[in-house]
Amino acid sequence: MARQSIMYSPYGAYEMKSQYQKNWMIGTGSVVGFVALLLFVSWVYGAMQDDDMVVFDSTAVVIKTIADLGPPPSIAKKPPQVKVQAPDVAAPKVGIPKPVADDEVLDEDVVLATRDELAEIIAPDIMSEAGDDIVVDIDDDDFLPSADQFVPVEIQPEMIHYTTPEYPRLAKQAGIEGTVWVKALISKSGNVIKAQIGKSSGTASLDDAAVEAAKDNKFKPGIQNGRPINVWVTYKVDFSLSN
């Protein structure tokens, strides 16, 4: 009986003591909810700021001297630009011809040259003078290039028949050997028109024998633009006693 009277004694506000746990839970929940609300609002605000964020160039410009500043901006006023309109020119009209003075009329006996005639005047063929007249006396088919003249060719001549030179008797008895480089002018039909020494062997008899035999060689002619042409070729002739 004494213990029960102590617990429910009117001293110490027993009503508050009986409700303190409930009040503590309510207060703690309120604080936690308020903090969570603050964190949520802060997160939403930060997300909105990221969307509107402007990126600035962080590259710093270092100025070491006054010269790096450059000239100051001009404070002088520029004159206003005047807009100039294009002249109003009327388009040409085709109308009735008007009479002109006699000195402005072209001579009736004037003959205008054709396109082919102009081409002949501007770029004539190879010509020779005969008295006061200019006569074209060299045809393209008869043109023979010199040995040192460049002639464009798409397909080089190809030897199809080789005549072996006769070994000179004295050079053979003396045991002389050598190599001759022969330059030959091949015609459009594949024949040798001319032959000469490109590089000598050092022995005249060997050189003469190589040139003499070159005239009997046969070639496929050189081709340029689908047509055979006259062109020079160079080939080697070996004189060897071991063969």
DSSP structural state of residue 102: G
Closest to 155 measured CA to CA, from 240, 239, 228: 228
Q: In the prediction, which pLDDT does 136 show?
A: 47
CA separation for the pair 7, 1 (Å, rounded):
10
Q: In the prediction, which pLDDT does 212 show?
A: 94
Output the pTM of the full model.
Answer: 0.43
Q: In the prediction, which pLDDT does 102 show?
A: 60
Domain 144-239 part of CATH 3.30.2420.10: yes
Q: In the prediction, which pLDDT does 163 show?
A: 92
CA separation for the pair 190, 19 (Å, rounded):
130
Question: What DSSP line would sit under 134-200, residue for residue?
Answer: EE----GGG----TTS----SB--EEEE-PPPPPPHHHHHTT--EEEEEEEEE-TTSBEEEEEEEE-
Q: In the prediction, which pLDDT does 170 show?
A: 92
DSSP structural state of residue 63: -
DSSP structural state of residue 1: -
Q: 178-186 and 231-239: which strand pairing?
A: antiparallel
Q: In the prediction, which pLDDT does 114 show?
A: 72
Continuous segment of H or E residues that includes residue 130: strand 128-130
Contacts of 195 (CB under 8 A, 6+ apart): 182, 183, 184, 185, 211, 214, 215
Q: In the prediction, which pLDDT does 141 show?
A: 56
pLDDT in tens, the chain (243 residues): 444 444 545 555 566 666 777 778 888 888 888 888 888 888 888 777 765 555 555 566 676 676 676 777 777 667 777 777 766 666 655 556 666 566 565 555 556 667 776 666 555 454 544 454 545 455 555 678 888 888 899 999 999 999 999 999 999 999 999 999 999 999 999 999 999 999 999 999 999 999 999 999 999 999 999 999 999 999 999 999 886
Q: 178-186 and 222-224: which strand pairing?
A: unpaired
Q: 128-130 and 218-220: which strand pairing?
A: unpaired
Q: In the prediction, which pLDDT does 1 show?
A: 44
Query: SS3 for 239?
Result: strand
Closest to 235 measured CA to CA, from 170, 163, 166, 169: 163
